[in-house]
Amino acid sequence: MSAQTLFLVFSGTNSRYLAEKICKSLNCPLGQMNIQHFADGEFSVSYEESIRGRDVFLVQSTFPNSENLMELLLMIDAAKRASAHSIIAVVPYFGWARQDRKDQPRVSIGAKLIADMLSTAGINRLITMDLHADQIQGFFNIPVDHLYASSVFLKYIQECLPVDNLVIATPDVGGTKRASSYSKYLGLPMVICHKSRLRANEVVKMRIIGDVKGLDVLLIDDIVDTAGTITRAADLMMANGAKSVRAIASHAVMSGPASQRVEESALTEMIFTDSIPYYKNCNKVKVLSIADMFAEAIRRVCKDESISSLYVIK
């Protein structure tokens, strides 16, 4: 049996756009499955081809709404009951990752709950990218391949941005480690935005630690949700004498007024990966594909080869 026929790739409804690109890179067809919806909102999943004894890769980001997660859980359960040899969840965007600890009394740890649900459903491995918190890998008792979008972003930075006049910036203190990795790899200076909040998604005060005068600023983040923080940071950079401000972020959650905020902000460009589909109209948004990176990870998992060499920076 050829290497190609040892594994099959399937996709949930809302991640099909990415699964098709992954399959194109792998030079294999996307597996056939049927998701039937019922009048009461329930749905069922069935594979339209035999998966007995195969390594099954299920591509589905768990971005809002929760139907994407439920669809993935049913896909896993159906694969287990159809005697798949192994079930690998390919989750480019791992939802609920911001709920990784008890930061106040009487709250859930959503990321741990999702990890337990996926494990109980029956996955043998998880392939994901740019988790909001690295420790989420420890919530699983199975192998987790944690990929980084840096390999995609670095190529774009080096080929398309004014590196000689660039300064790396982080929109909040929590992203310092991520921005520092880019800064060290590229040999560029770094500045930090320090913010304070009264509640989630609402920034009260922000100030810059470092100098941006006359420099082209590149903000580094992992998730852009309402875009309040990243656009406020961009406006603050320009107010402090920056020549231009761009931003890169792995996951385009882009809730509510996010697209309008980006469009009206001082940002020259907002660059995402396609871990989450972005269909809204915003002239400043550019999307880079992670399909080749995930295809290579799948190829290496199938051949029992190292994946760590895919990491340019962490």
Beta strands in the chain (DSSP E): 7-11, 33-37, 43-47, 55-59, 86-91, 125-129, 144-147, 166-170, 190-199, 202-209, 216-224, 244-252, 269-273, 285-288
Which residues neighbour 122 within 8 Å (Cβ) at sequence distance 6 or greater?
A: 76, 77, 79, 80, 87
Tokens of 89: 């969840």
Residue 258 DSSP one-character state: H
Q: Which of 209, 204, 230, 235 is nearest to 219 (CA)?
A: 230
From the candidates 21, 80, 184, 195, which is the catalytic residue? 195
Which residues on neighbouring strands pair with residue 166, listed in sequence order? Answer: 216
- Chain mean position to CA 183: 21
Q: Which of 257, 288, 19 is nearest to 152 (CA)?
A: 288
The question of whether 80 is a catalytic residue gets the answer no
**Which of helix, strand or coil describes residue 292?**
helix
Residues serving a catalytic function are: 195
